[in-house]
């Protein structure tokens, strides 16, 4: 069995501008998906981008904000789950009331090579 504590995952800033803690991925034995925790400070947004091959699921753990997927924008808050299909341009923005923290599951596993800004 593979398990990893969130506290053992070193945070870093990704290409889209969010702070990420990788929880499980290929380095931990996951072959078909990856799981990370992302955090955005109050009022911050990720850079609009897309993943040609990767399907993503976001599950919001804390905070509220706004999600944009292929030009459609909706308010989102803790407890919401969001599907981002492969190729969909997207970005998420944290509200001004506090940070936005969410889980991000990617299948296939996240790769910088599959992140496109246009």
What digits encode the pLDDT tens for the residues 84-115? 999 999 999 999 999 999 999 999 999 999 99
Q: Which domain holds residue 68?
A: 6-114
Q: How many domains does the chain have?
A: 1
- Looking at the domain assignment, is residue 95 inside a domain? yes
- Looking at the domain assignment, is residue 1 inside a domain? no
- Looking at the domain assignment, is residue 96 inside a domain? yes
Report the distance separating Cα 23 and Cα 40, nearest Å.
17
- Looking at the domain assignment, is residue 57 inside a domain? yes
State the Cα angle at 109 between 59 and 8, rounded to 5°.
70
- Looking at the domain assignment, is residue 82 inside a domain? yes
The CATH number linked to 36 is: 2.60.120.10
What digits encode the pLDDT tens for the residues 1-20? 888 889 889 999 988 889 99
């Amino acid at each position: 069995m593979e398990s990893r504590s969130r506290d053992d995952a070193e945070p870093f800033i990704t290409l889209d501008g969010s702070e990420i803690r990788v929880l499980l991925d290929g380095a931990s034995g996951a072959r078909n998906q990856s799981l990370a925790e992302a955090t955005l400070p109050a009022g911050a947004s990720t850079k609009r981008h897309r993943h040609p091959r990767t399907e993503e699921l976001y599950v919001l753990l804390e905070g509220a904000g706004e999600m944009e997927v292929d030009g459609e924008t909706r308010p989102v808050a803790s407890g919401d789950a969001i599907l981002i299909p492969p190729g969909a341009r997207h970005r998420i923005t944290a509200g001004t009331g506090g940070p936005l923290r969410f889980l991000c599951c990617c299948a296939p596993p996240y790769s910088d090579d599959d992140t496109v800004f246009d």
